[in-house]
Structures are given as C-alpha cells and as structure tokens.
Amino acid sequence: MLAAARRAGVELHPDAVQFLALTSGDPPLDTQSPEQNRQGMLAALPLTGTGADLPSVTDTVVPGPGGDVPVRLYRPSTDPGLPAVLYAHGGGWVQGDLELSDSTCRDLAAASGAVVVSVDYRRAPEHPFPAAFDDCLAVAQHLLAGGHGVDGSRVALSGDSAGGNLAAALALNLRGHRPAPVHQVLVYPVVTLAVGESASYERFAEGFFLTRRNMAYFADQYAAGADRGDPRLSPGACTDVTGVPPATVILAEADPLHDEGVAYAERLARAGVEVELRVWPGQVHPFVALGAAMGDAHDARSYAGARLEAAFALPPRS
C-alpha cells in the first residue's frame, strides 16, 4: 500500500497504513456471493470499537412500505422531547447492518445530545433501489412526526458512504416537508453512481481499501436496472439543490469518493446552502467507522456531534 500511496502522491496516516495491511488480502466483492461478502465484513466488527456507554439502547421497528423497518434507538438521556438523528449505515447498500454502525451511533448520541436512530434498511441485491431509500424515508417521516417521543422540529439526517448517499437523497426529497430536517451530516457520501468519473477514482482506484472495482459492484447491485440519474439514487444528478438543510461533509483524503464529496459540498454552497467541509488528511474509507483502529475516528465523531448539537440549538428554518 505504500507503493500505491507514493504513486498517488499521498502520505497515509500511520493508522491507515496498519488498517490497509490488515485488509490487503480481501478478495474483490464481485468474485463472491452477497452473503459471503457480508460475512467478510463481520470479521472487521472488532475494529469499530465499543462507543460511549449510554443510558438506553433499544431495538424496535418503524412501519415501512415493505413491512416493518428495524431501527436501533440510542438515547443519551431518558428525557422526553430530545432532538433526533437518523443514521444510515455504510456497506455499499449490500453489506453493513446495525452492528457496523453501533459504536459510531453511540458516540454521535453522546456528543450531540440527540437520540440517534440507526436504520437497518433492506439491502441489495435481494432488495434493489428504491428499497433502502424507501425504508429510510419512512423512518425520517416517522421522526419528523415526533415518533418515538422525539422533537419532530429538530431532526437531522446522517450516514456514511452508501448511508451518506441515502442521507443526501433524503435531504433533497424532504424539501418542503413541514417540519423540515434541520441538518445533514454526510460522511464520505456516494453522491453519484457514475463510478470512476473523477480524478480521485483514478488516484485511489486500488490499494486504499475501497476500490473502483468494488464500487462498480455496489452500484450494479443496488441500482440494478434503475435510471442512475434519479436523484434518489445519485443526489449529485439533481438539477436543483436549493433549499436543502445545512450540511456537514466529512471526507477522507485517500478515498475514491473524495472528489465527488468535494464537488457536492461546493455545489450546495453555490446554491446558498450553509456547508462546512472537512477532509481528514492521509485517511482512507471508512475511517470514521473504525473506532478501535483509527484515532481520527473519534475526532470525526466528536466534530459531527458538535455540528449536530449546534444545529439543534438554532431556531427553526423558515
């Protein structure tokens, strides 16, 4: 991986070097079944850490278009009327589950003072687009209506990677909803399914954990035969991004998704959306999830939590 880093002109963080050494032998995802790929990700769960100890963590469901949607509620206190953060996990819409994002959600709840609601949305290829989006939309609407005792006027959207894609798509779709989401935290989001069409895809195509080949696999599994220009699938394809909630965009420098994340943040800013973009130098996808392996994960989680806490303290947007 050091040779790849030299070719890409990037100096990797020491934690990233160690992580890449652990995962360098992983087979390409398109050579295995979805279930084999999911089992492979389970082996990485110890790297996510344990997260904050909270007074209440409960599993429940929210009614959805395809049946009940499992969710996990992380409460930083038992007080009623807390703000809420919908969290969509990563994993390319194929892998990932509530356990993958458990430590991240615990730390976000502790840092933001909000109830974090992690969504166990349906996964591809068994449930292709728009299943994951529809499940997350049902949960978002439930929270905006004050479901599970949260303050529906203070709801934010968040997710990492494929989950960042879902959060960005929800933010676009919920424009005009009353009450509206107050913030979106997009962690190295997939904003377009036009895989490979950026300079960072060229620089970091292989050797940095998330590969261009694996991203193409994820896109094929989730999009199936859908129009990849649908903004629910590719938020970056939306022709008008005005009116979405303020955004926090968190990126890793050595990530194929880096450039599309920067471009989306810049596009939101040009549309008059308040945006704060932060890039972690020398880091790789998916550093924020790796609480036991990456010191920067805790920095990023604290930063996201502080941004959410500040957003919840603001008066409602008109």
Query: Do 38 and 90 contact (CB within 8 A), yes or no?
Result: no
Token code pair at residue 59: 């599993």
Q: How far is CA 97 from the centre of its chain?
A: 12
Q: State the amino acid at position 38 in one-letter form.
A: R
* Choice among 161, 198, 200, 234 that is catalytic: 161
* Choice among 120, 135, 255, 259 that is catalytic: 255
Q: Which helix (H) or strand (E) holds 183?
A: strand 183-187
Question: Helix 295-313 and helix 102-112: axis angle, to 10°?
Answer: 40
Question: What gap in Å lies between CA 155 and CA 132, rounded to an integer?
Answer: 19
Instruction: Mark whether 302 is an active-site residue.
Output: no
Question: What gap in Å lies between CA 282 and CA 15, rounded to an integer?
Answer: 9
Residue partners of 150: CB distance under 8 A and separation at least 6: 81, 82, 83, 84, 115, 117, 143
Question: What gap in Å lies between CA 66 and CA 39, rounded to an integer?
Answer: 24
Phi, psi of 5, deg, nearest 5: -65, -40
- For residue 177, the tally of other CB atoms under 10 A from its CB is 13
Q: How far is CA 140 from the centre of its chain?
A: 15
Q: Residue 91's closest CA among 48, 59, 149?
A: 48
Instruction: Mark whether 118 is an active-site residue.
Output: no
- For residue 148, the tally of other CB atoms under 10 A from its CB is 17
Instruction: Mark whether 161 is an active-site residue.
Output: yes
Query: Do 294 and 15 contact (CB within 8 A), yes or no?
Result: yes
Provide the annotated active-site residues. 161, 255, 285
